[in-house]
Amino acid sequence: MQIYKDMEIGTAKVTKEEMDGIKHYLVDFVSPDKRYSVSNFKKDAENAIREILAKGKTPIVVGGTGLYINSLIYGIDYPEMNFDLDYRKTLMEKAETEDGLKSLYEEAMAIDPEAMKIVSPNDKKRITRILEIYKETGITKTEQDINSRKQGVKYDFRKFVITWDREKLYERINLRVDIMLKQGLIDEVKAWRSKYEKFPTAMQAIGYKEVIEYLDGKISYDEMVDKIKQETRHYAKRQLTWFKKNNDYIWLNR
């Protein structure tokens, strides 16, 4: 989400001071009203890596989205598809209830059990994507991955996970949310919302969608704060689940 412009606080975007003179790539360069896919990321990231290697430097790819990491280092291509937006809406509405999400999880498990091995039962985004890919293409995400990996791996790489004690991690997450709100997250969302008419992918960002619910009067301020913290903790848990099931990571304990 740090690719998007005008989303500084909610994404904890790196500041000029924090960059300390080191060039950072793929930060603050996409308008929030544009759809930006994993295919776009892979193309832009590979261009950046070529530029860095040409300077005799070693690229450090930082982030926590396993799908994007795998697309880059394993050469997996996710072709651009015109997903059925009505079907997507139906899936997302169904995923809002506990029974509905459970049903979608079971459906995805029946279609693509291999891909579902590293998907949490609470991971709405990945569950619905597996169902969308199958509906759109007639093949599973696993088959798609296998076909696209035939070109081989381009890079000599190492993968690291920085991990914390769970209780300490959740304390840091809660504190981070409090700090973002003090820094002006709500005002940032107001300005962002008034500037852009639509925000298809950016709307998925944790923190922004909850603030919009609050601004629309759907939830109270306290409910908004609790929801941002809870969704962030859930996301961190899903990240750890993903990394643990991919056993080629080097774990660095804090």
> Which CATH number characterizes residue 104's domain?
1.10.20.140
**Do residues 62 and 120 share a domain?**
no
**pLDDT-based confidence at residue 120 (cuts at 50, 70, 90):** confident
Among 148, 176, 201, residue at a domain's last position? 148
101 shares its domain with 136 = yes
Cα dihedral sign for 119, 125, 126, 130? Answer: positive
Residue at which a domain ends, from 78, 94, 127: 78
Average pLDDT over residues 105-118: 92
Span 51-66, mean pLDDT?
Answer: 91
Cβ-contact 5, 199 below 8 angstroms = no
CATH code of the domain in which 226 resides: 1.10.287.890
Structural domain contains residue 130: yes
When divided into structural domains, the chain yields a total of 3
pTM, 2 dp: 0.74
* Same domain for 122 and 65: no
Res 227 pLDDT > 90: yes
Say if residue 174 is exposed, middle or buried (CB neighbours under 10 Å; 0-12, 13-18, 19+): middle
Domain region containing 245? 161-253
Same domain for 170 and 141: no
Note whether residue 1 is domain-resident: no
CA distance 211 to 85: 24
Co-location of 170 and 240 in the same domain: yes
Convert the pLDDT of each residue in 138-193 to its tens digit: 889 888 878 777 667 788 999 999 988 999 999 999 999 999 999 999 999 999 88
pLDDT in tens, 9-35: 999 999 899 999 999 999 999 998 888
What pLDDT score does 83 carry?
Answer: 67
For residue 78, the model assigns a pLDDT of 67
Q: From the CB of residue 233, how many other CB atoms can be counted at a distance below 10 Å?
A: 16
Give the model confidence (pLDDT) of 69-106 as tens digits. Answer: 888 888 777 666 666 778 888 888 898 898 999 999 99
Q: What is the CATH number of the domain that holds 33?
A: 3.40.50.300
**Is the pLDDT reported for residue 244 higher than 70?**
yes
Average model confidence (pLDDT) for the chain? 88
- Whether 47 is covered by a domain: the verdict is yes
Domain contains 5: no
Alpha carbon of 69 to those of 22, 24, 112, 239, 249: distances in Å? 22, 17, 21, 12, 12
Single residue among 26, 54, 78 that ends a domain in this structure: 78
Residue 44 lies in a domain: yes
Residues 63 and 140 in one domain: no
Domain identity same for 142 and 92: yes
